[in-house]
Amino acid sequence: MNLAINVTQHQLMDVLLNVAVARPVFIWGAPGIGKSALVEAFAQQVGLPCVSLLGSQLAPEDIIGVPQIVEGKSRFCPPTQIAREEPYCLFLDELNACSQEVQKAFYSLIHERRIGDYHLPEGSIVIGAGNRAQDSAIVKPMSSALINRMFHVQLLVSHEQWLSWAYANGIHPYVLQFLQVRPDYLWSQPPKTEEPFSTPRSWHMLSDALHEFGEGLTSEIVGVLAYGCLTPQHAAQFKAFHKNLQGKYQLNRILEGEASFPSAPEDRDVLYFLADSFRAQIKKELPPDKASVSDGHKRFAHRAKALLKDLSAISLEMAQMVVARHEDGDGLPDWFVVEVIRDLPRLAMDRKGK
């Protein structure tokens, strides 16, 4: 399922606080973006215990229970995990990974808040969550009857809100510094092949590993940890970032004129990281519309063009990478690219001839 409108983490909490108390809510979203953690935080905020059921591991009897003979009649007894006396938040994680039989077992629980003769205590909340078919996750089509019993919302990763949470929750400084420079690396589309990929969860995992190694981190170890958690391209960039921290080449110092781009062959990976970060910084600092350009923007653009000239003297390929428009249409502001072509004709000629 793809909804027309996405919500951020903060917006999701508002939705849950206002909708989930009245109607069951289903949260759609890619793996590793914090759906489960947000539901647990919501339950804590409203003062309810959170009971999680993992849909991919359930059988129908795990929901409706097993029959017992009571006074000569059969009666289904739901499991104690569900049949509670006090109100609680029932979280049905990976609900759309259930078999059709299990999905049917949830119908009355979600719509009428009951299983057989057992009714959820007044004030209980039911929330479901699941991945989307395009996420290469184990999902099954959700029946129209089940879809129509729930309010649906799609969670979007917000790097600003995740970083705000990360600063308050002890995420490793290397992870924080890197994602400040490359917030677009916080999440990547799950790959079609079996390999790690970047999500808020995998960055948290990398942070934990970095903390465990403590002061004994080497560039090689950082590479091992990064490649074990992240999209390969992101892992390579993170390793180069760590190497850059240990050396004398930092982008902010280069922008301020206190350092220059590295030119030694052994620093090629650092140069690639700096060039990629330089491109991201230009996009961040300069407005897309020339009418919005201030004197401060003009000064930054002038400095950026000077650095592009320096970079092209070291590696035309890297300089071209900075100014090139990507296949997905992502590029630097058009007005800035026009100025680059005007002021750096050699670079522009090489781009045309490539």
Element holding 177 (H helix, E strand): helix 173-181
Positions of the chain with pLDDT lower than 50, given as ranges: 351-354
> Domains of the chain: which residue ranges?
6-156, 160-347
- Domain range 6-156, its CATH number among 3.20.20.80, 3.20.20.140, 2.40.50.140, 3.40.50.300: 3.40.50.300
**Which residues face 92 on adjacent strands?**
53, 128
Helix 295-314 vs helix 334-343: crossing angle, to nearest 10: 50
Classify residue 168 as exposed, middle or buried by CB count within 10 Å of its CB (0-12, 13-18, 19+): exposed
- How much is the pLDDT for 136? 77
- How much is the pLDDT for 353? 44
DSSP 8-state class, residue 120 = P
Rounded Cα gap, residues 107 and 231, in angstroms: 38
